[in-house]
Amino acid sequence: MPKPWATLGVDLHLEPTGPGLRRGLTDALREAVRTGRLAPGTRLPSSRTLATDLGIARNTVAEAYADLVAEGWLTARQGSGTRVAMGAPPTPFRRWGSAVVPPSGTAPSRRERHRPTYDLRPGTPDLASFPRTEWLKAARRAFTSAPNEALGYGDPRGRIELRTALAAYLSRARGVRTDPEHILICAGFAHGLTLLGTVLRAHGARTVAVESYGLPPHWNLLTAAGLRTQPLPYDELGTDPTVLTDEDAVLLTPAHQFPMGAPLHRDRRAAVVDWARRTGGLVLEDDYDGEFRYDRQPVGALQGLDPDRVVHLGTASKSLAPGLRLAWMVLPPRLMEEAVSAKGGMDTCGVMDQLTLAEFITSGAYDRHVRSARLRYRRRRDALVTALAAHAPEVHVTGIAAGLHAVLPLPSGTERTVLQAATWQGLALHGLTFFRHTAALAEPLDALVVGYGTPPDHAWAGALEALCRVLP
């Protein structure tokens, strides 16, 4: 006979009630959390331990735990066990299809909104895999050999050591044609885009063509510089630059369109360069994650087709970490002086990190890290595809040949509901609508944009399970 109660902690007792052991146990646990007898963060016994205490089957406990995790009362992470959720919801949930959604009129607390269990938003790598040991070794070598003058205000273009290392690396790995004299180090991609906005306005530019799907913060930076953004059409071949006419510049992600995931078609690569030559326009190439490709040959930089008409922008934010605030622009010779002037009369990027990245690249540690990261992210991508095939076979994932995210098309009209369900599952997700330019003419598409870079390895299985639960 099962025991009528089991001790979960000091003077805390559980009394399963109601029809059926699983239902009774679930209700009792929920009530203990709701009334505060189980405080947020409290670690619960393992399913085996509690089953032994109650004298019931382990599966019954595991299923009760799973129900409460799905409802948001508990959290379960590998290595951390099952715990009471921080800011557990005050009222029960109702189910929508296979997803769990809140009852009408309720909303997650501020803490819940800002502290998701799993972050699947695109744009950030796995920060837990940052190569700390190798980075420290490179920093020690760089600091030991750095000249005293490196600690001064410095060249506004950035340290010559880093510009030299980047010129060699970008030529070898991305097909960029440049030299150290035409590379400008920036404090992140946004900093570089802001500088280019200043340069374009100084030339009298008014309009920059952008992709129909992209990053709103980038469009906002151009708008803040006094430029109008005009979205280009998007079709089955991707962004269509053949409609460019009298725009002053165009911002593209040609190697891996963000967020749709396809490379710019070869004919359209040639077309955009032809437009720039014919009109004097400028192409801004955002090469944000060119190193990460899996099922295709690498796509070379667009800048290699015409270094005089294309500005190549790269960053360490995806390959290493955004917190380094290190990016670079490869500029046409005619724009270098103006960009340096826009940046100011001194180097505004951290010298120590510049020297370390230079050593990291020249020592071969950067290549080794990228190869290792590429294998790790590919395994995650493959696990995502496998999980979807097993639990949501009607979802045909796209945009997965490269990069750190995938696109999951949804039935028309369901994106908002799925995102709402994701919030209550502890998932931070973006829908495709978030990335759509407000002036885009194409019919809106419903989809999820799932980043598989951010969760650490130990959390990936749990993130996949939660994601599959919210899909319609």
In the prediction, which pLDDT does 13 show? 53
Alpha helix (H) ranges present in 330-364? 333-343, 351-362
Number of C-beta neighbours around residue 55 at 10 A: 12
Helices (H) and strands (E) in the chain, counts: 14, 20
> Which has more confidence, 200 or 7?
200
Res. 174 pLDDT band, cuts 50 70 90: very high
Torsional class of 325: left (φ above 0), alpha (ψ -120 to 50), beta (otherwise): left
The pLDDT, as a whole number, for residue 88 is: 55
Instruction: Answer whether residue 5 shows pLDDT above 50.
Output: no
- The Cα–Cα gap between 187 and 219 comes to 18
pLDDT tier at 268, thresholds 50, 70, 90: very high
Contacts 24+ apart (CB under 8 A), 29-38: 29/64, 29/68, 29/73, 29/74, 30/68, 30/71, 30/73, 30/92, 32/8, 33/68, 33/73, 33/74, 33/84, 33/85, 33/88, 34/73, 34/88, 34/90, 37/12, 38/8, 38/12, 38/84
Give 241's pLDDT tier (boundaries 50, 70, 90): very high
Helices (H), ranges, 203-296: 216-224, 266-279
Average pLDDT of the segment spanning 3-26: 56
CB 469 within 8 A of CB 99: yes
Residue 401's closest CA among 271, 292, 243, 322? 292
Higher per-residue pLDDT: 412 or 443:
412
How far is the C-alpha of 209 from the C-alpha of 260, rounded, in Å? 17
Beta carbons within 10 angstroms of residue 434's beta carbon:
15
Say yes or no to pLDDT of 92 above 60. no
Geometric angle at alpha carbon 244, from 243 and 249, rounded to 5°: 155
pLDDT of res. 11? 34
Per-residue pLDDT, 56: 83
Select the more confidently predicted residue: 12 or 421: 421
Residue 74's alpha-carbon distances to 42, 82, 254, 259, 460, in angstroms, are 9, 7, 43, 33, 18
- Judged by DSSP in three states, 445 sits in coil
| Residue 86's pLDDT band (cuts 50, 70, 90) | confident
Q: Is residue 307 scored above 90 in pLDDT?
A: yes
Q: Which two tokens stand for residue 56?
A: 């019931």
CA dist., res. 209 & res. 234, Å (int): 13
**In angstroms, rounded to a whole number, what is the distance separating the alpha carbons of residues 157 and 176?**
18
Percent of the chain with pLDDT over 70: 89
pLDDT bucket at 334, cuts 50 / 70 / 90: very high
Helices (H), 17-120: 21-34, 47-54, 58-71, 110-114
Order of strands, sheet of 207-211, starting from the edge strand that comes earlier in the sequence: 183-186, 327-330, 310-315, 282-286, 249-252, 207-211, 228-232
Residue 439 has pLDDT above 60, yes or no: yes
Cα separation, 426 vs 363, in Å, equals: 41
Contact between 313 and 287 under an 8 Å Cβ cutoff? The reply is yes
Give all domains of the chain, ordered by start, each with its CATH number.
Answer: 6-90 (1.10.10.10), 144-363 (3.40.640.10)
Contact 102, 424 (CB under 8 A): yes
Among 349, 293, 316, 291, which Cα is nearest to 131's? 316
What is the chain's alpha carbon radius of gyration, rounded to the nearest angstrom?
Answer: 26
Tell me what the mean pLDDT of segment 351-375 comes to. Answer: 96
Residue 431: strand pairing partners:
448
Most confident segment among 10-19, 276-285, 342-351, 413-422: 276-285
Question: CA-CA distance, 66 to 82, in Å (whole number)?
Answer: 10
Beta bridge partners of 228: 207
Give residue 384's pLDDT.
95
Region 1-18 average pLDDT: 45
Of all residues in the chain, the percent with pLDDT exceeding 90 is 63
Res 15: pLDDT: 57
Q: Which amino acid is at 206?
A: R
- Quote the mean pLDDT of the chain: 87
**What pLDDT score does 17 carry?**
53
* pLDDT digit string, tens, across residues 390-412: 999 999 999 999 899 999 999 99
> Could you tell me the CA-to-CA distances from 312 to 159, 194, 202, 253 in Å, in that order?
18, 14, 20, 10
pLDDT-derived band of residue 446, with 50, 70 and 90 as boundaries?
very high
Q: What is the reported pLDDT for 27?
A: 83
pLDDT at position 47: 83
Question: Band of the pLDDT at 87, cuts 50, 70, 90?
Answer: low
Which tokens in the block code for residue 288?
A: 């944000």
Pick from 90-94, 374-378, 418-422: least confident: 90-94
Least confident window among 208-212, 298-302, 306-310, 316-320 = 298-302
pLDDT greater than 70 at residue 113 = no
Strands 207-211 and 228-232: parallel
3-state SS class at 430 = strand
For residue 177, give Cα distances in angstroms to 151, 172, 193. Answer: 30, 10, 20
- The residue type at 30: R
- Average pLDDT rounded to a whole number, residues 249-258: 95
Helix (H) or strand (E) holding 172: helix 160-174
pLDDT grade for 109, boundaries at 50, 70 and 90:
very low
Band of residue 103 on the pLDDT scale cut at 50, 70, 90: very low
pLDDT bucket at 93, cuts 50 / 70 / 90: very low
pLDDT tens column, 36-66: 778 888 888 888 888 777 778 888 888 888 8
Average pLDDT on 305-334 reads 96
| Averaged pLDDT for residues 378-393 | 94
Confidence class for position 297, pLDDT limits 50, 70, 90: confident
Task: For residue 327, list its beta bridge partners.
Answer: 186, 315
Q: Which helix (H) or strand (E) holds 370?
A: helix 365-391
Q: Which residue has the tokens 């959604």?
A: 101
Nearest to 98 by CA among 366, 472, 454, 391: 472
> Model confidence at 370, in pLDDT bands (50, 70, 90)?
very high
